[in-house]
Amino acid sequence: MNISVIDTGFFKLDGGAMFGVVPKSIWQTLNPADENNMCNWAMRCLLVEDGNRLILIDTGIGQKQNEKFFGYYYLNGEQSLEKSLHKAGVNFSDITDVLLTHLHFDHCGGAIKWNSSRDGYEPAFPKATYWSQSEHWQHALNPNMREKPSFLKENILPIQESGQLKFVDEDLKISENISVMFANGHTEKMMCPIISSGKNTIVYMADMIPSLAHIPINFLMSYDIRPLQVMDEKQTFLKTAADNNYILFFEHDNTIECATVLQTEKGIKTLNKGKLQDFINI
């Protein structure tokens, strides 16, 4: 198995929105805000070669939205989905599977692109199976008012129209070494992939724990639709992660890719943190 980090660039979100009721005097030390109260966040994906499968987990925000849309999010950084795949020696047509943890635009926007005539959309990965979850799919098509701005039909409907969509059931593995766990606090039936790589277990945290700063149980995003459930999910998961030495992979931390955690008398604490390769090469 080969695992590569695919950096798709950075974007900015309001610090208060990303840390909810946590005071700025605390979160400002974790991810400093600019003069507009915006913090920079990564859109970090994973590419997993598992046997004859080449599986991409999430795709970043993409490039097809208009200038006004991108103006809200201050895209920055030198990396993109295309550049990072090229660096990994992979073409879009090489990808066999695209696993979308959920359908918020910063996780699935890169899955769809303009067609050649720019009068419609098509899958960016022409030979890939796109994996979503059936209940989440319906939730995205019929969103609540709070999430509606995050579910863009141009990111969703072309997947189904292409015939490349499949759904992950509760008992289904994506591949021999990739399974998923489901979380319902951030959005309905979000998938957090679990990758078994030899002696290591890597958990792609998606938006359950978007960054190292969100490990404390009460550090939640205002975007979470069920914040108390997120706290329960985090508490249960982090105990399991500590007991089993899981490697937590952060999609949105602007500098830290991974961490392991330790159960202490005062709760869960970070044990080690750094680049993914530092962990899987130990």
CATH number at residue 123: 3.60.15.10
pLDDT at position 171, please? 62
DSSP state of 190: E
pLDDT tens column, 24-74: 999 999 999 999 999 999 999 999 999 999 999 999 999 999 999 999 999
The total domain count for the chain is 1
Residue span of the structural domain in which 207 resides = 2-280
Q: What is the pLDDT of residues 234-266, one digit of tens each?
A: 999 999 999 999 999 999 999 999 999 999 998
pLDDT at 172: 73
Enter the pTM of the model.
0.96
pLDDT tens digits, 79-121? 999 999 999 999 999 999 999 999 999 999 999 999 988 989 9
